[in-house]
Amino acid sequence: MKTPASSPAGQGFACLESRAEMKRKLLLRGIRQLVTVRGPAVPRRGRQLGEPGIITDGAVLIEQGRIAQIGPSARIENLAEARGAEELACPGQVVIPGFVDSHTHLVHGPPRLDEYEMRIRGASYEEIAAAGGGILTSMRAIRAAPASRLRYQAARALRQAASFGITTVEAKSGYGLDEAAELKVLRILKTLHGEPVSVVPTFLGPHAVPPEFAGRPDEFIDFLIGRPLPRITQRRLARFADAYCDRNAFTVDQTRRFLAAAKERGLGLRLHASQFSNLGAVALAAELGALSVDHLEAIEQADIDIVARSSLIATLLPGSVFHLGLSRYAPARALIDAGAAVALATDFNPGSSPSISMPFVLSLACTQMRMTPAEALAAATINGAHALGLAAETGSLEHGKWADLVALEASDYRELPYYFGMNPVSMTMRRGEIVYMKESSTCP
């Protein structure tokens, strides 16, 4: 077994296998608690969301980066196809699927520290934005910064993501707010895929109205549809389109025009909805066939019913509520009890959620939104994968899926949200490659 080389910064990052070496067999064995989150090939709802699919004393056989066999160690170790596999012993540890962080603003420039202090002194997020701060602060930084600097910042965040057990992230543009800057950000995201985690790019065109279109949001929507959208789709720089539909952002009609144009050009749809007010964005998302509707802190019962009856994934972002010092979290319990498919994500961004710690998101989901640990884990893995259209490939530990998994220094998966603010991840594996290992880890 090769010893993982530490990163120059000494953070324990490693890529154990080269692309050529991915073809070899790996056997993870002696796993105290193997949490598969296996189940039907649909988003988890209701009771199914709380079924973790635990195998005690489990093992995983990996070949060519995919799960070839999974089950009790006594059975897997004795299979003929396990002969000759390199063994990675994980005695006493918990193994879970890699987290799928389905909502981030990865490329965002420097932190907005002045605004952080302003909020501590009583200014609201919306007051800061109305004064020309908020998203527009990041816009100025993104436009001015060279691509190399932005890429360095984002790559560092992705390494941190891997250390928290994330193997896939969705990453939005939306801080450039002009053609050149939006294309710059999406090009950066394209180069970051697989370094070290999977990156799914989203064009968040209507994020805020830039100064050059001040007071003319309809003209800004026309600009987005006529200029950057065609170039982005022609160059395949994004998989999804997103829009911010809320007060002091974009109306339902403006959002509909942009997303309908994006859908016509072949992009999947996502939507920031009901974060501060309920404008009817959830009904619009269902109307247009969006895959995910995100935030939902201000959602009402009628919209909960819409989500429950539809194929929408309700992606909840408790980190932003926590950082903004607010008390109204999305009604996860009501959504789950109504039959909605719920996902969890970090909303990593410089204004409202400067954290890419999925373990902390799970803690918030359990203590503040009354989700059980099993529900939170499924929401952050398999339902996050469904929110990105990737559930056939990742999000659970099942035969044929990519070996995207995480080893925890824990005896029970429920310790993950229980020890809030702590990080029990000892190893993160993406597609059969170790992309992070804690230096003190005994696994492998």
Q: Is 34 within 8 Å of 58 (Cβ atoms)?
A: yes
Q: Is 263 within 8 Å of 290 (Cβ atoms)?
A: no
As a whole number, mean pLDDT of residues 256-279 equals 97
Q: Rounded to whole angstroms, how far apart are CA atoms 319 and 361?
A: 6
Give the pLDDT band (50/70/90) at residue 268. Answer: very high
pLDDT of residue 23: 56
In tens, the pLDDT along 183-238 reads: 999 999 999 999 999 999 999 999 999 999 999 999 999 999 999 999 999 999 99
Judge whether residue 133 has pLDDT over 90. Answer: no
Domain ranges of the chain: 20-97+396-437, 100-387
Q: Is 79 within 8 Å of 69 (Cβ atoms)?
A: yes
Amino acid found at 160? Q
Residue 251 corresponds to which tokens in the numbers above? 């109306």
Residue 51 corresponds to which tokens in the numbers above? 């079924």
As a whole number, mean pLDDT of residues 408-437 equals 97
In tens, the pLDDT along 23-49 reads: 579 999 999 999 999 999 999 999 999
In tens, the pLDDT along 153-181 reads: 999 999 999 999 999 999 999 999 999 99
pLDDT of residue 257: 98
Q: What DSSP string describes 141-201?
A: HHHHS-HHHHHHHHHHHHHHHHHTTEEEEEEE--SS-SHHHHHHHHHHHHHHTTSSSEEEE
Amino acid found at 358? M
Q: Write the DSSP symbol of residue 23.
A: G
Q: Rounded to whole angstroms, how far apart are CA atoms 427 and 406?
A: 6
**Residue of higher predicted confidence among 45 and 92:** 45
Give the pLDDT band (50/70/90) at residue 441. Answer: low
Among the four given CATH numbers 3.40.50.2300, 3.20.20.70, 3.20.20.120, 2.30.40.10, the one describing domain 20-97+396-437: 2.30.40.10
Whether pTM > 0.95 for this model: the answer is no
CATH superfamily of this structure's domain 100-387 = Metal-dependent hydrolases (3.20.20.140)
Q: Rounded to whole angstroms, how far apart are CA atoms 323 and 201?
A: 25
pLDDT of residue 3: 32
Give the pLDDT band (50/70/90) at residue 10. Answer: very low
Residue 317 corresponds to which tokens in the numbers above? 């972002």
Q: Is 117 within 8 Å of 108 (Cβ atoms)?
A: no
Amino acid found at 238? A
Percentage of the chain beyond pLDDT 90 is: 88
Q: Rounded to whole angstroms, how far apart are CA atoms 265 and 229?
A: 8
Tally: H helices and E strands in the chain: 17, 17
As a whole number, mean pLDDT of residues 350-377 equals 98
Beta strands 86-89 and 66-72: pairing type? Answer: unpaired
pLDDT of residue 303: 97
